[in-house]
């Protein structure tokens, strides 16, 4: 016994509409689960830095283009672990050219004598990683996380 299915325009349109709805809803869930900050403009980058509790010197911003290595050395693997602490992961960007924006942010804590700067790695207008680093060559490097305002300098 053979079974035949008849496809009408109406049923095809209903299936298409259902698929489109599933794609849109799943895209919204993915976007909510994987937030990435838009950083196309200086104002957007500054806003993101301020959301971390830091005050950037907008006039002293520097930028450069770098290519992430295709294979991560031990140093990059350690740096990527720092990224993961802030919810980022550079693994998907191996071999890609990114723009690194650097802003001085001054002292980040009252108990700290070092000045700091923030590096934001941007790919296609989105922040994909970065760090908060002491200007002191032997200083600390921190993930892109909120700096407690009560400790802020």
Each residue's pLDDT tens digit, 50-88: 999 999 999 999 999 999 999 999 999 999 999 999 999
Tell me what percent of the residues of the chain surpass a pLDDT of 90. 65
- The residue assigned the tokens 């590096």 is 119
pLDDT of residue 32: 39
What is d(CA 49, CA 116) in angstroms, rounded to the nearest whole number?
13
How many residues can be counted in the chain? 153
DSSP reduced 3-state for 57: coil
Dump pLDDT digits (tens) for 13-35: 555 555 445 555 554 444 433 44
Q: Is residue 36 helix, strand or coil?
A: coil
d(CA 101, CA 1): 68
Average pLDDT, the chain: 84
């Amino acid at each position: 016994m053979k079974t035949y299915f008849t496809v009408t325009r109406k049923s095809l349109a209903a299936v298409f509409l259902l698929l489109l709805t599933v794609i849109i809803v799943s895209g919204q869930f993915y976007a909510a689960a994987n937030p990435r900050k838009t950083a196309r403009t200086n104002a957007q980058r500054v806003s993101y830095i301020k959301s971390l509790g830091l005050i950037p010197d907008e006039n002293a911003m520097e930028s450069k283009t770098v290519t992430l290595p295709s294979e991560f050395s031990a140093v990059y693997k350690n740096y990527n672990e720092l990224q993961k602490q802030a919810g980022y992961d550079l693994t998907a960007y191996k071999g890609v050219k990114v723009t690194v924006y650097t802003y001085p942010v001054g002292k980040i804590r009252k108990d700290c004598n070092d000045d700091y700067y923030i590096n934001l790695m941007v790919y296609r207008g989105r922040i994909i990683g970065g760090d908060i680093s002491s200007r002191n060559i032997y200083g600390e490097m921190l993930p892109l996380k909120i700096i407690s305002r009560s400790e802020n300098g």
